[in-house]
Amino acid sequence: MKINPAAIVDWTNSATLQLAVEHHRANRLDEAEQSYYQVLGEQPDHPEALYGLGMLAQQTDHLQSAEEFLSAAVGVQPDSVKSWFSLGNLRLAQEQFLEAAIAYRQALALRPDSLAIYNNLGYALQQQGLFDEAINCYQKALELKPEFVEAEANLGNALHAQGKLSSEKQLHYAQLNHKLGVQRKNAGDIKTAIAYFKQALAIQPNLVEAYYNLGSVLQEQGELEEAITCYKTLLELDPNYAEVYFHFGKVYQQQKQLQEAGAAYRQWLKLINPHYAQAVEAYQNAETTQEPPVTPPIPQTEVTVGAYQFPAIPPVSDSEKARPFWSVVITVYNRTDYLFECLTSVLAQWPGKEEMEILVMDNASQTPMFEIVNSIGKGVVRYYRNPENIGLVKNMNTGIALSRGQWIHILHDDDYVLPGFYAQLKQSLEGCSDSVGAAFTGYENINDKGQVIFCQQVYGDYRGIAHQNWLQKIGVANPLNMAAVVIRREAHERLGVYHPELTYTTDWELYKRIAAVYDWWYEPGILARYREHSNNATIDLLLSGTQMISIRRAIEISESYLPSELCAEITAKSRSHYFNYCLQFTLIPLQAGNVAGAWQMVEEALKMDRSSIAVAKLFTWLTQDKVSLLRDEIASKLISLPLNESVAKV
């Protein structure tokens, strides 16, 4: 039996091409490119490989290469509709309208019933001023599919450009363009979205929604002055369009015009929250002047839980005065980048002073935060400034001690809550048993651009007291985030507040302390957001390696008060979990060149768990190339150790 070499090459190329397509679809672009080139290495004129490389080049903005690959593809396979169509789209995106039309006509000759080709050809012709031909293309597309919205909108745009669009149809076509703009915006096609919004306004200059969406897209693109022009025009049409003031606030904040930002946010809050509007008006009518108050001294007492003492807070003394349901304590220090977002997220939900008090604890910022806080919080927010920096944990504890609410919510200035946080939790907590000492919701982690990078919902859609294994879960590791947790003040009065020795896991240790005595309530939904960014205290702790010291101490402290029947199991699992955690996060200081910090994390890992299994895992982990710097450091330390005298004699 003879083996046909050409057949083997074809079979191999087919398999490689299929792999390339799979990589491409999965967005593994480097692997896709390598596989496409592998096919071309065996068959330089393979049309599918040329097409794939053309699409990949366009995707990565290598437009000249994309033109070359797609042109080569249609040269090899002139009856390929998708290659001609893609070549036309590439040229259209580069505003090469004549060349785009040529490619589209070639595709249309091969596929005369294609809606998309008729529509795109019409647009390319329209941009050349060939309106009659363009209209004919749009009409053919609509004959094939009467509900083809994009072709209908383009038809209206062409008629409008010729002055042939009747006044009765202008609103309809403007709304079609706006609808398509929103769709393209949601799909991430910002350039096309802007074009649709502008076309909508060209047809109907008083379409407020188009001004709003155009302004927001321009703002996202950093075109702040153009965005401001859109917003100002919108407000001339509708002075009470609330969301515009919020966006104005963000624009001014980006421009570091904090006074103007505060005024815009204040107007937004007045329009969306009648409780806030009433309080601000009453404050202004009273003509009072508020000076930044200094934080009053707090009595230093302690409460013993297990074998440890924790800072205590006094009970609320004024029993005759009605207490609010909520106390929201916002800690601030120096940062202004996210403070407005944090404050407005709470003030937008503020139900009135009878239901909520808001305290801002300024930890001796170099520039006092009073003016920023007062610009939107005057008449609502109580601001305190510490005479000196007392550290984050003590600042939180001071805010709790000054609070009067039945439930306490701690927020850092770079975190915020989502709509419904307080109302939804209050509805559940008002009727819950006194056995519930704390509650939590789902949350998201976001980066400095506001993009979601992590999501956590411990019990999904379940609502109620956390399952019976909650202590085992929270005892082993912390699945919560402070922004998503509220604590009954009575629980603080009984068990104390945050332990000042712990710089990183002080919240986790407190959650374990509460879970050992109280039930926890779970409220479903994503209702809070925690921000990860370069100016975050957690990053510094990770880079230095000191984060792990706090974790180890939190395990040791809770060992003294966990129920005896569960303590050994929970502690062992926790030590094992955080041993692995140490190894995983040792790479952070190591990649930053901080070998000393990485070494400290390894030391802490061994203090967490010295079992034979853990030690074996450590030695295996150290064989990786990516930890070679640390391996060299350990070898150096071992070599520098003095030899035992008896060994030296040998």
Structure tokens that stand for 380 in this block: 């609502």
Q: What is the pLDDT of residue 416?
A: 98
How would you class 561 by CB atoms within 10 Å of its CB: exposed for 0-12, middle for 13-18, buried for 19 or more?
A: middle
Q: Which domains does the chain have, with CATH numbers?
A: 5-216 (1.25.40.10), 301-535 (3.90.550.10), 549-643 (no CATH)
- Tracing tokens 């649709």 back to the chain, one arrives at 196
Cα 93 from chain centre: 30
pLDDT tens digits along 30-53: 999 999 999 999 899 999 999 999
| 36 vs 50: CA distance, rounded Å | 8
Phi, psi of 28, deg, nearest 5: -90, 80
pLDDT tens digits along 574-602: 999 999 998 888 888 888 888 888 888 88
Helix (H, G, I), strand (E, B) or coil at 384: strand
Please say if the pLDDT value at position 79 is more than 90: yes
Strands 519-531, 436-446: parallel, antiparallel or unpaired by DSSP?
parallel
Residues in the chain, total:
650
Helix (H, G, I), strand (E, B) or coil at 481: coil
pLDDT tens digits along 338-375: 999 999 999 999 999 999 999 999 999 988 799 999 99
Confirm if 100 and 128 have CB atoms less than 8 A apart: no
Residue 42: Cβ within 10 Å count: 13
Q: Is the dihedral of CA 189, 195, 197, 203 positive or negative?
A: negative
| 45 vs 60: CA distance, rounded Å | 22
Cα 390 from chain centre: 30
pLDDT tens digits along 608-631: 999 999 999 998 999 998 888 888
Predicted TM-score (pTM) of the model is 0.82
pLDDT tens digits along 389-409: 999 999 999 999 999 999 999
- CA-nearest of 561, 541, 549 to 502 is 549
Of all helices (H) and strands (E), which one includes residue 109? helix 97-110
Q: What is the pLDDT of residue 648?
A: 42
pLDDT tens digits along 254-306: 899 999 999 999 999 999 999 999 999 988 876 566 677 899 999 999 999 99
Q: What is the pLDDT of residue 400?
A: 98
Angle at 298 between CA 293 and CA 299, to 5 degrees: 160
pLDDT tens digits along 117-174: 999 999 999 999 999 999 999 999 999 999 999 999 999 999 999 999 999 999 999 9
Q: What is the pLDDT of residue 489?
A: 98
| 266 vs 252: CA distance, rounded Å | 13
pLDDT tens digits along 213-230: 999 999 999 999 999 999
